[in-house]
Structure 1
Amino acid sequence: MSSTPSTRDRILATAERLFAEAGIGATSLRTITTAAGVNLAAVNYHFGSKDALVEAVYRRHLEPLNHARLRRLEMIEQAANGEPLDVETIVRAFVEPLVEQARTGASGAVLTRLLAQSLHEAAGYVERFYARENDAVLQRYRDAMQRAIPALSPDEICWRLNFMLGTLHNAFLDAGLLKLLDHDAGKQRAETGPEVTLAQLIPFLVAGLTAPGQEAATR
């Protein structure tokens, strides 16, 4: 049996790499077809449009990631027997599946860059698709976090989860900013992989999520 990737898979892999490197808006179909060694008709046949290709690229990564996040949340909720979960446990259930994918070399690097692109991409359809694909997962984690930190209002929970997502996606992009602050720390992060980032990230996220709310701060 031949191990040569199919035309569809070759287009997907090429689009993933180019989207991660340059962004969705800056990557034309012509650039993708040239790099993949196919013609525009092949893209139209397999995907129909650039928007559909973008969705296929994201879906290929988001579906297994979200499945893993939901599975972990269900497992820790079952173990808790109806009691509120510990905040760190919730954070780890959400973050660690991304770290596990980030460990998979080139594929993991593409995923983290794509996720960051989805937060910053100006195209409305990217934002809508990303929201649709992640809605069920984010609602489940929001509800779990609200039960874990009942002193916070629903608005405060949403704001803090928003900050968590932004921090999480940017944390795994690269060590460039870290090197500006501390060359040795940036070098260590680059050489040892996502575990170093995770060790610093989890306590930071937990501290931010559990900080006193506005009502408590004004007392």
Structure 2
Amino acid sequence: MDKTKYPASTKKAQENMEASRPDTATRILDVSERLFVEHGFEATSLRMITQQAEVNLAAVNYHFGSKDALFEAVFMRRLAPLIASCLAELDELEAREEKLSVEGLVTTFIRPCLALSKDPARGGALFVRLLSRTLVENHRLLRETISQQYSVFVQRYSRAFHHALPELGVEELAWRMHFAFSVMFNAFAGNDVLKIFTRSQIVSARDPDMIVKYLVPFVVAGLVSPVEG
């Protein structure tokens, strides 16, 4: 049947039905997540998203309202469970160890990231790369949202590292945590800079297990190094 013969009201009703289907929002989020990794936020258009998700623009507007809100939604559905996992690991460590170890604290962050990278149902390596790249680039859309919603994460880890490294002043500790988390985010961002330093076709900086193997001792060494002067 020729759909052009439908009255405008009927066509609009069909679009609304499609937009409100429970799987439509998930499909939009999944496609957007992949495209944001492949092309970045600016280069990913709503047209690209709607074509690959096989939905119309009305569906995006119905569920998210704008491209900015969609970008935020892509992060929040994955980031909230990841932060919760990190804090649960931190709770367990604090309950188990009277004197917190720096390696233990680093592991409470790394282990959930590693688990997430191996679980496609929660975004897998794709989302870990997107999260890492966006945080490294300090994306304007998420900077304020993350700082507001996840201040507890920052406060808990800052307090825990202060307990583990009481010899460090506030400023010194802040700088070391800045460098440590920057290194960890960069390591998971999927930028295979390792190829510059080795010609091996087997070794890859996108292998999460290899990342963790070499990343943890490197980060710990930086955090615990003696204070100059």
- TM-score band by shorter chain is 0.7 to 0.9
Q: Percent identity?
A: 41
- Tell me, yes or no, if the aligned pair for 2:136 and 2:186 is still in contact at 8 Å: no
CA distance in 2 between partners of 1:176 and 1:76 (Å)? 32
Separation in 2 of the partners of 1:153 and 1:8?
A: 47
Counterpart of 2:7 in structure 1 is: none
Structure 1, 89-98 or 127-136: larger mean CA deviation: 127-136
8 Å contact 2:117–2:127 — kept in the other structure?
A: yes
- Contact 1:72 1:93 (8 Å CA) reproduced: yes
Higher relative contact order (CA 8 A, sep 6+): 1
State whether structure 2 residue 221 is matched by structure 1 residue 207: yes
Superimposed CA distance per residue, residues 136-157 of structure 1 (whole angstroms, 9 cap, x where no aligned partner): 1121011100110011111222
Query: Does residue 92 of the first structure (1) align with residue 140 of the second (2)?
Result: no
Larger Rg belongs to? 2
2:142 to 126, 134, 149: 126
The letter of the residue matching 2:127 is L
* In structure 1, C-alpha distance between the alignment counterparts of 2:205 and 2:223, rounded to whole Å: 27
State the Cα distance separating 1:187 from its structure 2 match. Answer: 2.2
Deviates more, 1:8-17 or 1:19-28: 19-28
Residue 78 of structure 1 and its aligned partner are, at CA, apart by 0.9
* Structure-to-structure mapping, 1:1-219, within 5 angstroms: 6-80=23-97, 83-105=98-120, 107-121=123-137, 123-174=139-190, 176-184=192-200, 187-189=202-204, 193-213=207-227, 217-218=228-229
- RMSD over equivalenced CA pairs, Å: 2.1
| Residue of structure 1 equivalent to 2:5 | none
CA contact (8 A) 2:130 2:189 kept: no
CA distance in 2, matches of 1:180, 1:120: 20
Q: How many residues align?
A: 208
Secondary structure of 2:41's aligned partner: coil
Runs of 4+ in structure 1 off by over 6 angstroms are: none
TM-score normalised to structure 1 length? 0.87
Q: Which runs of 5+ in 1 are unaligned?
A: none
- From the superposition, tell whether residues 121 and 177 of structure 1 become closer, same or farther in structure 2 (CA, over 3 Å): closer
Greater mean alpha carbon deviation, residues 38-47 or residues 18-27:
18-27
Q: Which amino acid aligns with 2:218?
A: F
Give 1:88 shift: 0.4
Deviation at 1:175, TM superposition (A): 6.2
Q: Is the contact made by 1:109 and 1:173 (CA closer than 8 Å) also made in structure 2?
A: no
Distance in 2 of aligned mates of 1:45 and 1:117: 28
Where structure 2 has 5 or more consecutive residues not aligned to the other structure, the ranges are 1-20
Paired with 1:135 and 1:122, the residues of 2 have a C-alpha distance of: 16
Q: CA deviation at 1:159?
A: 1.4
Please report how far the alpha carbon of residue 120 of structure 1 lies from its aligned counterpart in structure 2 after TM superposition.
4.2
Distance 2:48 2:178 in 1: 33
Q: Which amino acid aligns with 2:77?
A: R
